Structure 1
Amino acid sequence: MANRLRGEISAMLDGRRWTLVLTLGALAELEDAFACEDINALVERFATGRLSARDMTRVIGAGLRGAGNAVTDEQVAEMTAPAGIAGFAAIVADLLKATFGDPEPEEAGGQEPKALVPA
């Protein structure tokens, strides 16, 4: 069972329940994948709300690997989710929320996101 206090989520993929978590290593993997210089740049990238199918594959793959599952992005790309693409988007949104928390109200209104760590 997923432990939300540790940033874990539970998700159905390919008819199976999986645990996902964005560990420090998984976040470093995503920094590389998205060519982000640091964690703040990664947060800003996600705050745009614009993710491609490839982006969702990378985030879900990193979350699965962060939880100790030996899966490749290619394997993730072949998986199915309840509700199709909307299901994948919901998994990514839930994982990012579990990792970074909810945005502050002013952030949700289109303002600049606050830095995750001081510059």
Structure 2
Amino acid sequence: MANRHRGEITAHLNGKAETLVLTLGALAELEDAFDGKDILAVAERLQSGRLSARDCTRIIGAGLRGAGQPISDADVAMMTTDGGAAGFVRIVADLMAATFRPLTDRATEYPQTASQTPAGLPGK
């Protein structure tokens, strides 16, 4: 089962529930795949709403590999999901949201006390 607190999601690919997560290594892989841009530039590009099928293949592949699946992008390109192309876009959107959700959302999940706040930073 996916742990959203660790950025994991569950996606149904080829009729099977799969876990995806963008680990640090998976994010580095995506930086390389997107012309060496830093990961925030990649995230901003994807937030523009313009995704190619190749973008989806790369991101889903990186997420599967981040979760430990030994799979190539060519294998991902042959997969199916509910909703066709729109289903793949939803998977990418869900994975990106789980990876890059705002820190303010996390603060409400894990409230800090004054003793847990790093020195020099204001507490909540």
User: TM-score, with normalisation over the residues of structure 2?
Assistant: 0.79
Q: CA deviation at 1:43?
A: 2.0
Matched residue, 1:81: 81
2:66 partner letter: G
User: How high is the sequence identity, in percent, across the aligned residues?
Assistant: 65
Matched residue, 2:10: 10
Equivalent residues of 1:2, 1:19 under 8 A apart: yes
Q: Which has the higher contact order (CA 8 A, sep 6+)?
A: 1
Tell me how large the CA RMSD over aligned residues is. 1.3
The correspondence of residues 1-119 of structure 1 with structure 2, limited to 5 A, is 1-101=1-101
Aligned residues between the structures: 103
CA distance in 1, matches of 2:37, 2:12: 32
User: Which of the pair has more CA radius of gyration?
Assistant: 2
CA distance in 2, matches of 1:7, 1:30: 16
CA distance in 2, matches of 1:72, 1:32: 15
Dislocated runs of 4+, deviation >2 Å: none
User: TM-score, with normalisation over the residues of structure 1?
Assistant: 0.82
Q: CA deviation at 1:67?
A: 0.3
CA distance in 1, matches of 2:39, 2:52: 20
Q: CA deviation at 1:40?
A: 2.2
CA distance in 1, matches of 2:59, 2:39: 14
Name structure 1 gaps, 5 residues minimum.
105-119
